[in-house]
A = this chain, B = another copy of it.
């Protein structure tokens, strides 16, 4: 299930009313080239000229489809993040019916995904961009909200003693653990070879948390914050 570097990323590209088929194809080429530049060379190299060169077009034509660079960025992020969401939905559809197994599978699947070059390189760019670009921030936060909502449902199915709010907090914690792993054990990272052990730790630790957590555990800490308790 690990995404190969050569695999073209799956993008859900917004349909355009009345556009020629040719134009839609061109848009996809541009977005794919843009994604490639962003992933392979980083946001510093993410220029219209570089993207145009990547897809063998002229700068003016990119501006024809995306009057402002901002438009291209937004559409690219929308497409790629929707692609990720679609991939997750599909994975869930094929997964087991057993709640624990579903949750475990989801964690494993995502940890596999972050080892792809695409994911390892793309998401840190998004995190950085989001801090100074409101629209990117909204897109990224919405994406994670959807992802964590999926996790929260699984958490609830495993442990129904938790409130919905608590499930979402646990889901965020699970999500944070996985995302954080990207920067240490993602594609070409020094700890990438240790990913099997890390995955083991993550699954064991997070599954135990989900299964044993009680509402009181959260409430207790809220009353006496860790840094005072410590």
Binding site for B on A (CB under 8 A): 1-2, 41-45, 96, 101, 104-105, 107-109, 111-112, 120-121, 124-125, 127-133, 141, 144, 166, 169-170, 172-173, 175-185, 190-191, 194, 196-206, 208-209, 213, 217-218, 220-222, 225-227, 229-230
Contacts and interface: CB of A to CB of B under 8 A. Distances in A.
Q: How many copies does the complex hold?
A: 4
Contacts of A182: 180
Which secondary structure dominates where chain A touches chain B? Answer: helix
Contacts of A131: 42, 120-121, 124-125
Nearest to A199: B226
Contact of A226 (B104, B141, B144): B104
6 contacts: A107-B226, A109-B227, A169-B197, A173-B198, A176-B183, A197-B218
Nearest to A204: B217
